[in-house]
Amino acid sequence: MTIHDTFTGAQFVTAILDMASEHGMVIEMGSDFDLYESYINSHRTHQPLGLPFDPKLHDMNEDSGFWIVGWNESGELVHTQAMRLFNLGGLALSDYLGQRFVDFPPTGLDLDLERSHYQPGPGAKRISGRACYHGELWVKGDDRYRGTGLPGLLARFALATCVLRWSPDHIFGFMPERYAFRGLAEREGYMHTDPGALAWYPKGSTTPLKGFMTYMGRDDLSHMISLCPREFMLSQAA
C-alpha cells in the first residue's frame, strides 16, 4: 500500500465516521471476539454470531480479525460487521471454498449440508494470497438510516479499514441472491460478483437459498477509497 493510499484511506474512514455521527451513530471497533459475541447475544438476538467469527471455534485476535459495531444515543446496538484474514498462499479461493464452504453458512438456519453446494466462479479462481472475509453486516431497520446511503457507507468503512490495517490482496464476502439483484453489492462498494456461488438447502425444503460471492482486489480497493463518500451518500438519498 502506498503512502498516498494510506493518507486517502485515512481521510475516507474519517469522513464516514463523521457522517455516522451526524446520524446519531457512535462506532466502536475491536478484536476481542468474546466481547463481540456478548454484544450479539445481548443485543442482536434475532441473528446469532456467524460461524466464521466464533471465538470458541477460531483463534480470533488483532492479527486475524476485527469487528465494528454501531450504537445509537440510547445505547441500542444498531449496526454490526466483521472482517477475518486468511492467508491462502498459492491456493486459489475456489479450491479452498470447494472444501470449506460449509464454514461460511447463513446464520440461524437448520441446513441440509449434504444437498447444499458451492459453485466456483471465475473470480474465486483468481483469488489467492492474503484474503479477507467480510461478514456479519447488519444495520437496524430504522427510519433514521433508510434512504440515506449510510448502510452502504458503513460497509465501505470496513473495506477501507481492512486496507489500512492489513493491505490484503483481496476481500470477499457472500450475499443472498435477492439482495444482489437489488444492487446491494454496488452500494456496499463491491466492484465484482460471482453469481450462483452458493445454494443452501434448509432441512425439509426443496427450494435453495442462493448466494453471490462479492469480491475486490487491491486495485479495486485503492480506487474505492479515492471516491468521495459524502457524494455517494447524497446520491443514495436523492
pLDDT in tens, 116-145: 999 999 999 999 999 999 999 999 987 788
SS3 for 48? coil
Q: Which residue's C-alpha cell is 437459498?
A: 209
- How long a stretch of residues is the chain? 238
CA distance 186 to 92: 24
Q: Reply yes or no on whether the pLDDT at 159 is more than 90.
A: yes
- Quick one: what percent of the chain has pLDDT higher than 70? 96
For 40-182, list the strands marked E by DSSP: 65-71, 77-87, 117-118, 130-139, 170-176
pLDDT number for residue 147: 77
Q: Given pLDDT bands bounded at 50, 70 and 90, which one contains residue 194?
A: very high
- Provide the CB-side half-sphere exposure for 48 (13 A, CA): 9
**Would strands 130-139 and 170-176 be described as parallel, antiparallel, or unpaired?**
parallel
pLDDT number for residue 142: 76
Please give the distance of CA 54 from its chain centroid, rounded to a whole number.
15
Q: Given pLDDT bands bounded at 50, 70 and 90, which one contains residue 235?
A: low
CA distance 169 to 87: 10
CA distance 195 to 68: 27
Mean pLDDT of the chain: 94
Task: Give the pTM.
Answer: 0.95
- Quick one: what percent of the chain has pLDDT higher than 90? 87
For residues 45-49, average pLDDT: 95
Residue type, 236: Q
- Which fold does the domain 3-237 belong to in CATH? Aminopeptidase (3.40.630)
pLDDT in tens, 54-109: 999 999 999 999 999 999 999 999 999 999 999 999 999 999 999 999 999 999 89
Domains in the chain: boundaries: 3-237
pLDDT number for residue 49: 97
